[in-house]
Amino acid sequence: MTTAYQELCRTFQRLSRFGHLGAIAGVDMQTTMPPGGSQARGEAMAELSVFMHEMLTDKRLGGLFEAAQQASLNDVEQANLYEMQRAWRQATLLPASLVEAKSLAGSRCEHAWRSQRPANDWQGFSANLKEVVRLSREEAQLRAEALGVSRYDALLDVFEPGMTSAQLDRTFGDLKGWLPDLLQRVVEKQQQAPIATPVGPFAIESQKQLGLSVMSTLGFDFNHGRLDVSAHPFCGGVPEDVRITTRYNENDFLSALMGVIHETGHARYEQNLPIQWRGQPVAQARSTAMHESQSLFMEMQLGRSAAFLQHIHPQVVALMGDQPALTPHNFVRLTQRVQPGFIRVDADELSYPAHVILRYEIERALIEGDIEVEDIPALWDEKMQQSLGIDTRGNYRDGCMQDIHWTDGAFGYFPTYTLGAMYAAQLFQAVKRAIPQVDELIRQGELQPVFDWLQQNIWQHGSRFPTEQLLLNATGEALNPQHFRQHLEQRYLSE
């Protein structure tokens, strides 16, 4: 006789397969779909979202969950049941009409953003964004009433289960207390030793070959993934078919290269999630911040380390050409240069948290109704001036229109970037304790011990443990932001 738990597993397996199709359609939409296909694709994806929502909110699931609670399940099955119920509860809070409307509004806003951003068209963009915000507030209100929390916390919980804005305020408040001084000290220190800047152009095909070569070094499985181009770098698809993208600039090959390394971190996590539980919620990535920890582990902890840069240096010179700016010493300094700028995805490690905190503060006020879409540009400029000394007045393209997350209503996502950076620093410290010779291994290109550690401590567990427990198991302590501070001081002030 089929048990209630097995029936639930079958339902979530079907949902996973439909999600697979939606993920690949979404990747295609952002990479190769012709502009004229936008409306039809958006409608098709909205229809799929509604269909999956109806599957997940089927009334009979409630009875199945009650019966499954009485079953004798092992610890993995119990974790899977918990994640199933979490997904079910999240879905039942929203009517299908809202799911469809939000999907359609997000598709329209994202597609229009692609042409509006280059044109610096804030007025056109804000018209679409207003509808996305209206629907996101409606969603937030429904979730907040059910959970008994604030509207923003209700959305934050979707991306980072258990996290609250009160916790973020404490963590980010501490960061804002010491980061500006550290940033200023490092900028002043680096100004004492000018860095030679590479002279382009750098052929896009050569940049692509460099990216593919470094992806191979980082263990990317090309039998289950590929590299493409998009307006905004991302990692999408599914574990069996991971798609990562970057964007190329003929005058700056490092931007694309670091984008590739970052997205490869996401991809390695996806490609190594537990295959024996594939198709079930417990096999999914633990949380958005844990996902970001893997990309920032690869990019910041590993990819921008002197040891790794020394290892890939010959590949860089072979494909980008030999010039004074690409000597081994200058290449390392170039990649570790701290230079506050407009663009978050191109930001250095020290500037990056300022970009994230700015977005967190704005989006929380937006969802809570303290500000409106019209207020974003002035508030953005004010916060950029305060944190990084950068003027964005009238420059919407490089200011509040630069990111894609708000276009589809992903409010609550941005804080996970800096949480991920903190997790990554803490994880790398644990790697150093477990593998004392890790720097020398990285310099030699022997990265498998690092990947084995990640596999053992993070990747293989999927969503089996809550984020805090996963981090505790891997490092011996809960989140400790001091590891992040020590990492930054060690890298940028010790030499």
Residues tagged in the binding site annotation for Zn(2+) = 262, 266, 292
Question: Cβ contacts of residue 474 below 8 Å, gap of 6+?
Answer: 427, 430, 457, 458
Rounded-to-integer distance, Cα 450 and Cα 441, Å: 9
Cα–Cα dist 143/153, whole Å = 9
CB 307 within 8 A of CB 442: yes
Beta strands in 222-356 (DSSP E): 225-229, 235-238, 241-246
263 is catalytic: yes
Structure tokens at 8: 């639930």
Structure tokens belonging to residue 436: 């004392």
Structure tokens at 105: 């509004």
Beta bridge partners of 241: 238
DSSP state string for 187-235? HHHHHTS--PPP-----HHHHHHHHHHHHHHTT--GGGEEEEE-SS--E
Name every residue whose Cβ is closer than 8 Å to that of residue 2 and which is 6 or more positions away in sequence: none
Residue 237, beta-bridge partner list: 242
- Tell me whether residue 438 is exposed, middle or buried, using C-beta atoms within 10 angstroms of its C-beta: 0 to 12, 13 to 18, 19 or more: buried
Contact 102, 44 (CB under 8 A): no
Q: How many residues are recorded in the chain?
A: 495
How many whole angstroms separate alpha carbon 433 and alpha carbon 452? Answer: 14
Say whether 424 sits in a helix, a strand or coil. Answer: helix
* C-alpha 411, offset from chain centre: 13
Max Cα separation, the chain?
75
Neighbours of 123 (CB within 10 A): 9
Cα–Cα distance list, 165 to 27, 145, 149, 154, 168 (Å): 31, 17, 10, 10, 5
Distances (CA, A) of 177 to 361, 362, 490: 16, 19, 18
> What is the distance between the alpha carbons of residues 150 and 165, in angstroms, rounded to a whole number?
9
Sign of CA dihedral 352, 358, 359, 360: positive
d(CA 77, CA 14): 18
**Pairing mode of beta strands 241-246, 225-229:** parallel
Residue ranges for the known binding site are: 262, 266, 292
Catalytic residue among 83, 139, 263, 361: 263
Number of other residues whose CB lies within 10 A of the CB of residue 77: 17
Active site residues per annotation: 263
